A and B are shown apart, each in its own frame.
Chain A
Amino acid sequence: MLDDFIVRALLAGMGVAIVGGPLGCFIVWRRMAYFGDSLAHAGLLGIALGLTLQIGVNVGILAVCVALALVLAMLERQRRLATDTLLGILSHASLSIGLVTISLLATVRVDVMAYLFGDILAVVPADLWWIYGGGAVVLAALAYLWRPLLAMTVHADLAQAEGINVAAVRLAFMLLIALVIAIAMKIVGVALITSLLIIPAATARRFSRTPEQMAIGASLLGCIAVGAGMLGSLTWDTPSGPSIVVAATLLFAIALAAGEVADRTRRPR
């Protein structure tokens, strides 16, 4: 019989994995892997702001993530600096400002490591409401944006010439990522959320012939990684979040190897 805290950890991890599947596919397709990292780093500034202004950590993280998405969307209009350069600047700037601010808060002690790696075993029922409620909102919005988002991922100018409001859809997509990271960061940690966005999506590519297959496959693979990681964590008494990331990485490696073998058997020399 599983303990309650383990069930909650599994539910939390799988909730993030389910939302992370389709969202992560778009992050991989649009080459925005660094965006999730940047938002997660910026989240630290959000924690500092939330504590300083006493508006709550969740609100602080959400506010900073949304602000970062808006600033990035604005900066992308100039074409001299590429997006990854801008993200590098924003990411490290907000991380550093966050750390400096936290150090200036003499009265409050913040465990930065807890936010970077999270503690999925400490999930409380209210956290599950956040994950599944917020997750449902994000998935519904993503379903609504699916077709235009896919069209502009393939070719932004072509999509715009065919009547899609590319700037609006792009901003909406960034806000969705910001929302997911803001919800999941405090609960499962930065490292886990960005891993659950990217690694299962990359793994699912091998088995997919359509974008939808890849999105659903990524969600499933994410759930498997959460289950396997938790099992490993309990068996060998390893930290849960990193164990889940290791499990996801193993799945990726297996898919890669299996794909290589399949390619060789299909084309015998």
Chain B
Amino acid sequence: MTAAGSKAGPRDEHRRRPLIAARGIGVAGRGAPILEKVDIEIAAGEIVTLVGPNGAGKTTLARILLGLDKPDLGVVERADAIVVGYVPQRLGIDAVLPLTVDRFLTLARRADRRTVDAALDEVGARELGRRALHELSGGELQRTLLARALLRKPDLLILDEPVQGVDFSGQFELYELIARIRDERGCGMLLISHDLHLVMAATDRVVCLNRHICCAGHPEDVSRDPAYVALFGPRAARDLAVYHHEHDHRHDLHGGVVPIAADHRHEHDHRHDHDQHDRRRV
């Protein structure tokens, strides 16, 4: 499913311009800052996974990138006229509001039957259209949210904990789906995850955030690691990767720690990209 070697060519061209770039983002908190000197950019066709513990400021950063909140310091630059799709973390659907999936998908903008069905098809949820929103399982809800974001024809997708509340096998399917959407649409993606060590294998770049950017790099290619395959099965090996990372600083040294990874990020990027393509062709 994820074999997309033939599409790698055009995607590489897209990759050069960042869709969105945040520079020097700072958000003041009570006492310690919530975010400090955060730089992050996402290019078309690129999947960036933002990891960090709870309270690290991941959602705050996502809200700033979405334009929901303004940072105290720093700027967010968006490429001209890009459409950003958002898959929020929690959707507290109350049973008191009668709403079908079809209706939910067209809440923000009208769309005809065929467009809605096509979006549901794309996320493998064609049969959900007439179901009530509050009766959906975690995985079905995530697919519905994804379909709503896709209806906007996004250039960039921001997904906040997209596999939260989804059972283990459902997580692989969702990761597979997310990777396929990137391959087919060539949009940039920012995935937010609280899992520090397990990220989606199709991730091009992992950014570890804990109020500042601790490090950034590429996830290891674990599909060749027999121990990992034995542990999680071949399917997990294809869709998940273990992200080992060492921090070059401790967290009690808050002020002025500049991650050295920032300088290396571009090199990582290129090298990693080749890895990815090699692996896909195998």
Interface residues of A (CB under 8 A from B): 28-29, 31, 147, 150-151, 153-155, 157-164, 202, 205, 208-211, 213-214
Contact = CB atoms under 8 A, between A and B. Distances in A.
B161 to A, nearest CB: 14
Given A159-B108, A161-B86, A162-B152, A29 B97 contact: yes
A155 B91 contact: yes
Nearest to A148: B108
B81 to A, nearest CB: 13
Contacts of B96: 28-29, 202, 205
Contacts, number: 61
Nearest to B93: A154
B228 interface: no
A162 B86 contact: yes
Interface in B13-65: 63
B113 to A, nearest CB: 16
B97 A211 contact: yes
A44 B103 CA distance: 41
A201 to B, nearest CB: 9
Contacts of B100: 209-210
Contacts of A157: 63, 66, 68, 86, 88
Of B63, B103, B133, most buried by chain A (CB within 10 Å of CB) is B103
B103 A162 contact: no
A214 B98 contact: yes
A160 B99 contact: no
18 contacts: A28-B96, A29-B96, A154-B97, A154-B107, A155-B88, A157-B63, A157-B68, A158-B88, A158-B91, A161-B84, A162-B152, A164-B108, A205-B96, A209-B98, A209-B132, A210-B99, A211-B97, A211-B99
A162 B99 contact: no
Contacts of A31: 94
Nearest to B94: A29
Of A31, A150, A154, most buried by chain B (CB within 10 Å of CB) is A154
A18 B84 CA distance: 39
Q: How large is the interface on B (under 10, 10 to 19, 20 to 34, 35 or more residues)?
A: 20 to 34
A214 B99 CA distance: 10
A154 to B, nearest CB: 6
A163 B100 CA distance: 22
A114 B164 CA distance: 54
A205 B97 CA distance: 8
Contacts of B148: 158
A222 to B, nearest CB: 17
Nearest to B98: A208
B99 A154 contact: yes
A151 B86 CA distance: 14
B67 A161 contact: yes
Contacts of A158: 86, 88, 91, 108, 148
Contact of A160 (B68, B94, B97, B109): B68
Contacts of A164: 108
Interface in B123-160: 132-133, 148, 152
A72 to B, nearest CB: 21
Interface in B87-125: 88, 91, 93-94, 96-100, 103-104, 107-109
Given A29-B94, A211-B98, A147 B66 contact: no
Contact of A153 (B67, B84, B97, B98): B97
Contacts of A147: 107-108
Nearest to B145: A158
A168 to B, nearest CB: 15
Contacts of A208: 98
A163 B98 contact: no
Nearest to B133: A154
B91 A154 contact: yes
Of B66, B84, B97, B103, most buried by chain A (CB within 10 Å of CB) is B97
Contacts of A163: 108
A162 B63 contact: no
Nearest to B148: A158
A45 B35 CA distance: 45
A161 B66 CA distance: 6
Contacts of B107: 147, 150-151, 154, 159
Given A153-B97, A158-B148, A164-B108, 13 more contacts: A29-B96, A31-B94, A147-B108, A151-B108, A154-B93, A154-B99, A154-B133, A157-B63, A157-B86, A160-B68, A209-B98, A211-B97, A213-B98
Contacts of A210: 98-100, 103
Contacts of A202: 96
Of B91, B96, B100, most buried by chain A (CB within 10 Å of CB) is B96
Contacts of B63: 157
A161 B68 contact: yes
A34 to B, nearest CB: 15
A41 to B, nearest CB: 24
